[in-house]
Amino acid sequence: MDTIFTRGPSLNNRLALAIVLSALLIFVDHKVEGFKSTRVYLNSFMSPLQYLANLPRLMLSESAQRLTSQEDLLEENDKLTNQLLLMSEKLQRFDALSQENKQLRHLLDAPVRNDLRKMVAELMAVDKNPYSQQVVINKGAIDGVYLSQPIIDEKGIVGQVMEVGTTNSRVLLLADVTHAIPVRSQRNDIRFIATGSGALNELYLEHVPHSVDIKSGDVMISSGLGKIFPEGYPVGTVKEVRRDESRPFSIVTVTPMARLDRLKYLLLLWSDEDKPSDNDVDNDINSQSKDNANKADVEANGEQNSVESSVENSGTGRDTQSNATSGNEEAEDDS
Amino acid sequence: MIRKRHSVIVTTLLIALVLQIVPLPIQADLYRPDWVLIVLAYWSMALPHRVNVGVAFLTGVAVDILVGTTLGIHSLSLSISIYILAANYQRLRNYSVWQQAIVIGLLSSLYHLLTFWVQHLLTDIYFQLDYLWPVLTSMLLWPWVFWLLRKTRRQFSIT
């Protein structure tokens, strides 16, 4: 080793080069839109490390699963059977209602809301970066995941895909400071924008005048205006409205519906209108997410669909629905 | 010989990267030490002509990809921190391990503040003192990592 005659550029020059390169990277990654596709390759390149890091947790949960007592399993089974029964009862009414809704919408010449394609994903890792709220899921470009794809859990909207890798992708949660979602109040249809606060259990409503009719307990649902999130999924409930007259706007805090701190299974939604819904993907859905699936049946986006295309779409929607019901009936027989 | 040296350094860095992103319970997550910074610090102190700003930059890009921050943030802060170390390695080598731990603590706080500062320019985030817990854990971890890595280095006789 040579201590006096160093090879290559001097340390100062190296630092200058590193700083310039970093600044360039920050600029390109932050400002240039076309760079996103490069990021996909970079993410896939590094994903083995992510799988490796996830291994201990995987092993822990595996062993915990093996060690569950039979009593616990029986208890859980009972609970789930009950839940299934209740859900399928709801579903029976739901079918009739959604059929009726479709017919009424036809009569009104309003576009029929068509079914959404969806897929179950599992949480892989939660980010340790304290400045942002992100999670990594185990579905990626090979499963058809795309940028800013909406993601929900069994309670409500969770967030959107911010980076796609080949086999996994990164989800920006609702609560991130850089995230905003257009919502409307379920009670009176007033539109707001909900931005993340950086804390997992809080969102803020932006620019709410003092005179607006809003009170704590109001349910906020997605309004579908941003073209990213489909319409009608629950986002959160208003926790507190502070009307301080010395401020230009009231401060409204919202608690997200989705339990962002304990995510496990997530549902990816395909809200593209031009993409045909894939039936084989629908098979991916297991029973635990059926209530979501049914919610999706009626509350799909489809604002600009012509009536003709929606007729065929509603046909496929009916098919999947009947599949779902028959599945439920089988489950009932089993129980 | 050269192959072996590279592979050992790269392996320790990869282990540090994995430890940096291993999912932990939220309570423990706050105190996660800066594994990558510590391992880089050791190598740049022990072999300043092999591992310095260049390696720090590349590792920083890897951290950025893994953690999901804007590319360049961690590479910038790691490069600057390691530069300070590599420029003063002769003095730092003569310090006792505990004095070195204090230096590592200072370096780690610089690293966190730089990361925060750059991210603050890009998005509006606010500083919480909680973000500086890793400084303390990194300081406490340094003697053990130092001992372990020195043992590894002597085992494989890397110079």
d(C-alpha B52, C-alpha B159), whole Å: 14
Grouping H, G, I as helix, E, B as strand and the rest as coil, residue A14 is helix
* Chain A / chain B CB contacts < 8 angstroms: 131
**Residue A10 contacts B, CB cutoff 8 Å:** no
d(C-alpha B3, C-alpha A335), whole Å: 63
d(C-alpha A229, C-alpha A301), whole Å: 9
Q: Dihedral through CA A180, CA B115, CA A260, CA A195, nearest 10?
A: -20
User: A261 near A299, Cβ under 8 Å?
Assistant: no
Tokens coding B120? 């603050």
Q: Compute the nearest-CA separation of B123 from chain A (Å).
A: 7
A168-191 burial, b at 16+ Cβ within 10 Å, e below that, comes to bbbbbbbbbbbbbbbbbbeeeebe
User: Which residues in B lie closer than 8 A to residue A21 (C-beta atoms)?
Assistant: 57, 72, 75
Within the 171-200 window of chain A, which residues sit less than 8 Å (CB to CB) from chain B?
A: 177-178, 198
Specify the pTM.
Answer: 0.67
Q: Return the residue of B nearest to A30 by Cα.
A: B70
Which of A17, A123, A129 is the mutation pick for testing B, counting most B CBs within 10 A?
A129
User: Which residues in A lie closer than 8 A to residue B70 (C-beta atoms)?
Assistant: 26, 29-30
User: Which residues lie across from A120 on neighbouring strands?
Assistant: A267
Query: Is A18 in contact with B76 (Cβ distance < 8 A)?
Result: yes
d(C-alpha A249, C-alpha A282), whole Å: 44
d(C-alpha B56, C-alpha A5), whole Å: 21
Q: Compute the nearest-CA separation of A23 from chain B (Å).
A: 7
Q: In terms of Cα–Cα distance, which of B143, B89, B31, B68 is closest to A11? A: B89
Query: What is the DSSP secondary structure assignment for residue A266, as one 8-state letter?
Result: E
User: Which residues lie across from A169 on neighbouring strands?
Assistant: A137, A164
Other beta carbons within 10 angstroms of residue B40's beta carbon come to 28
User: Which residues lie across from A123 on neighbouring strands?
Assistant: A137
Query: Is B65 in contact with A46 (Cβ distance < 8 A)?
Result: yes
Sequential DSSP letters for A118-131 = EEEEEEEEE---TT
Q: Compute the nearest-CA separation of A25 from chain B (Å).
A: 5
Of A6, A11, A128, the CB nearest to B21: A128
R_g of chain A, CA atoms, integer Å: 24
Chain centroid to Cα A46, Å, comes to: 24
Q: Return the residue of B nearest to A49 by Cα.
A: B18
Query: Is A26 in contact with B22 (Cβ distance < 8 A)?
Result: no
d(C-alpha A280, C-alpha A135), whole Å: 27
Q: What is the pLDDT of residue A128?
A: 63
User: A111 near A310, Cβ under 8 Å?
Assistant: yes
Band of pLDDT at residue B105, cut at 50, 70 and 90: very high
What does chain A come to in residues?
Answer: 335
User: A89 near A325, Cβ under 8 Å?
Assistant: no
* Side chain identity at residue A248, one-letter code: P
Of B17, B53, B130, the CB nearest to A18: B53
Query: For each of chain A's 335 residues, which pLDDT tens digit applies?
Result: 445 555 667 888 888 888 999 998 888 888 877 777 787 788 888 888 888 888 887 888 888 878 877 888 899 999 999 999 999 998 888 888 888 888 888 888 777 666 778 889 988 877 666 677 888 888 888 888 988 899 998 889 999 998 888 888 889 999 888 899 999 998 888 999 999 988 888 899 988 998 889 989 999 999 888 888 888 889 999 998 988 888 889 999 999 998 888 888 899 988 755 444 444 344 343 333 434 434 344 344 333 333 333 333 443 333 433 343 343 444 444 43
Residues B20-65 pLDDT 10s: 888 777 677 778 889 999 999 999 988 888 888 889 999 999 998 8
Q: Largest Cα–Cα distance of chain A, in whole Å?
A: 87
* Side chain identity at residue B154, one-letter code: R
Q: Return the residue of B nearest to A12 by Cα.
A: B83
Query: Who's near A213: CB < 8 A, 6+ residues apart?
Result: A188, A190
